Amino acid sequence: MLWERSSADITFLTSASRPFTTLATNDLTAILFYPLSYPSHVSLMYKGIFVSFILLLTGCQSSYVSLGDQQVTVFENTPLNFDLAYKDAPQPNPDGIFQLDAGRVLVKKVTLPTYELQPSVRVKVSLQSKGDPWDKSGSLFVIPKSSGINLLDFESGRFNLADLNESYPAVQAFANDSTHYAPNVELLRFMTPFGVGFFNDHERVRDRKPVYIPHWEEKVTWEQDITHLLPVLEDEVYIGVFIDTWTKEGYSLSVDLDFKETTHPLHTKKVTRVLPLVNTSKYSANQRLFDGFHDGNITLQFNMPEGFKNAQLHYTTTGHGGHSEGDEFVKKENIITLDEQEIKRFIPWRDDCASFRRFNPSSGTWAANQFDETQPSSERIASSDLSRSNWCPGSDVPPEVINLPNLMAGEHTLKIEIPEAQKFKDQENNYWMVSAYITYDVE
């Protein structure tokens, strides 16, 4: 190879002249690591370019603020119980917690980190009975900041749900001339066990512990990855929890959010969005348990913006009704339709409930052949062992995640059906807790 230098630039001369800007990668490597093979001025020039490139990368790295891993405690051994003393207009207690619907709903304002680098988020809920012996439905949720009115407005009387003139108000989004509403986004659905932690040594349950359980558990803990909900978990937000308890003893629970930041300094946070669609859980005293699927379906309209991708529908469903033929114990098909195209048809069902026996000390038990005449065994079977509509006493309930590859920008119609759902009447307390939202990436 020959070298020619002018006052303006340097040109590499080979059998075919090759300009400086097209220097091959192997030439640069050779200059950096075998400098004696090239003229000194060329070696120094490319070393300078290499150093400048590294400094540029370093500068890019330092332009993003790292917040590191953080844990935010929302509730810590917080009591939740039914008490009519909480019926007055809501005011936060000394711990900043609103006790709504006679104490069965807790809501607290928390400040969450807003990351520039990509984090993951996990929610952790721990619960112990303080004297409630029953299994009860529960829901951890966040009030979306995009909503003009919310649960606190319903409970304080600032907005009267009766003005909506609906059988099941505030189940889905609505808008009028003065305001708009988006339903609560569910962070975690759970079901309390029978008396976990409180009745472990109670004389009523002393002889109920199966031989295959070494001990009754002191508490139950659930964890889920909720990174996809990061857009509604930033800055100041209201986070709440509902348990359908009717006892003054109630429960004690703790809730933590664990944020773990990426270790890659240039992995910036992905831009995502959450679109709340529907939530039938009874969070407000002025709502009712949802048995509307007996009379029809839920049909709602929503709009998708331009410039999105990777849309997914997150659908959580559980059936309730504790009598022998109730929606809790009988398989019921759920059907989801998007723009008249069926996207999911399934029977939500759990048949592994016996695996939660160690969390259920106060569950009632019977001899199997007394409970079911077709069973030859007299072995004891617990209520908590029985299969149920997508839940067990002591379980959490992960959402069904449905990819929506054909979803386009514009208006859409979503329909949810449970055709065989039963009516709520007398002692047959049938109802369904269904929540749904869409997540997507912004291009």
Residue 247 near residue 103, CB atoms below 8 Å = no
Q: Give the span between the Cα atoms of 253 and 76, in whole angstroms.
A: 7
Say yes or no to pLDDT of 33 above 80: no
Q: How far apart are the first and last CA of the chain?
A: 48
Say yes or no to pLDDT of 52 above 60: no
The DSSP output letter for 247 is: S
Q: Give the span between the Cα atoms of 317 and 301, in whole angstroms.
A: 20
- pLDDT level of residue 2 (50, 70, 90 thresholds): very low
- Cβ-proximal residues to 378 (8 Å cutoff; 6+ apart), any chain: 367, 368, 369, 370
The model carries a pTM of 0.85
Residue type at position 410: G
Say yes or no to pLDDT of 16 above 70: no
Judge residue 32's burial from the number of C-beta atoms within 10 Å of its C-beta, 0-12 exposed, 13-18 middle, 19 or more buried: middle
Residue 196 near residue 363, CB atoms below 8 Å = no
Structure tokens at 67: 């917040």
User: Mean of the pLDDT values across residues 388-392?
Assistant: 98
pLDDT at 43: 53
Q: Indicate the range of 60-69, 222-231, 331-340 predicted with least confidence.
A: 60-69
Say yes or no to pLDDT of 403 above 80: yes
Among 150, 117, 166, 157, smallest CA distance to 300 is for: 166
Between β-strands 380-382 and 97-100, what pairing exists: parallel, antiparallel or unpaired?
unpaired
Structural element, H or E, at residue 12 = strand 10-13
Say yes or no to pLDDT of 181 above 60: yes
Angle, to 10 degrees, between the axis of helix 40-62 and the axis of helix 25-33?
100
Q: Give the span between the Cα atoms of 265 and 64, in whole angstroms.
A: 8
* Average of per-residue pLDDT values in the chain: 88
Residue 294 near residue 422, CB atoms below 8 Å = yes
User: Mean of the pLDDT values across residues 222-246?
Assistant: 98
Judge residue 253's burial from the number of C-beta atoms within 10 Å of its C-beta, 0-12 exposed, 13-18 middle, 19 or more buried: buried
Beta strand extents in 218-297 (DSSP E only):
220-225, 235-243, 251-261, 272-279
Q: Give the span between the Cα atoms of 261 and 376, in whole angstroms.
A: 56
Among 147, 224, 146, 149, smallest CA distance to 187 is for: 224
Say yes or no to pLDDT of 28 above 60: no
User: Mean of the pLDDT values across residues 247-264?
Assistant: 97
Strand partners, 237: 110
Between β-strands 334-338 and 341-346, what pairing exists: parallel, antiparallel or unpaired?
antiparallel
Say yes or no to pLDDT of 426 above 70: yes
Q: What percent of the chain has pLDDT over 90?
A: 73
Q: Give the span between the Cα atoms of 335 and 317, in whole angstroms.
A: 11
Q: State pLDDT tens for residues 292-318.
A: 999 999 999 999 999 999 999 999 999
Among 334, 329, 333, smallest CA distance to 387 is for: 329
Between β-strands 251-261 and 70-80, what pairing exists: parallel, antiparallel or unpaired?
antiparallel
Q: What is the DSSP string of 347-400?
A: ---B--GGGGGGG-TT--EEEHHHH-TT-----EEEGGGS-BSS--TT-EEPPE
Which domains does the chain carry?
2-62 (no CATH), 70-442 (2.60.120.1570)
User: Considering Cα of 329, then 135, then 140, then 108, what sign does the dihedral take?
Assistant: positive
pLDDT at 443: 87
Q: Indicate the range of 53-57, 67-71, 87-91 predicted with least confidence.
A: 53-57
Q: Give the span between the Cα atoms of 59 and 55, in whole angstroms.
A: 6
Residue 210 near residue 379, CB atoms below 8 Å = no
- Cβ-proximal residues to 212 (8 Å cutoff; 6+ apart), any chain: none
